[in-house]
Amino acid sequence: MSKPIKETPILKGKDARVFMAKITSPTKRETISDRTRQRMRENFEKINAIAKS
């Protein structure tokens, strides 16, 4: 038998402000360097080429 699903909490006051600040703050994608992002793109393309073979 499954457990009952709890209701989704409603954030108010300080909790709501903290939550909104966290979801609107820069993501990891925005904080990595362009050099790292380029290297990741190249690695992705290499792996993709191997997978298609």
Our CA angle for 28, 44, 36, nearest 5°, is 40
Q: What is the pLDDT of residue 30?
A: 66
pLDDT in tens, 26-53: 666 667 888 998 999 999 999 999 988 7
Average pLDDT of span 3-14: 92
Give mean pLDDT, residues 4-15: 92
**Which pTM value belongs to this model?**
0.43
**Banded model confidence at residue 11, pLDDT cuts 50, 70, 90:** very high
The 3-class secondary structure across 4-43, one letter per residue, is CCCCCCCCCHHHHHHHHHHHHCCCHHHHCCHHHHHHHHHH
pLDDT of the residue at 28: 60
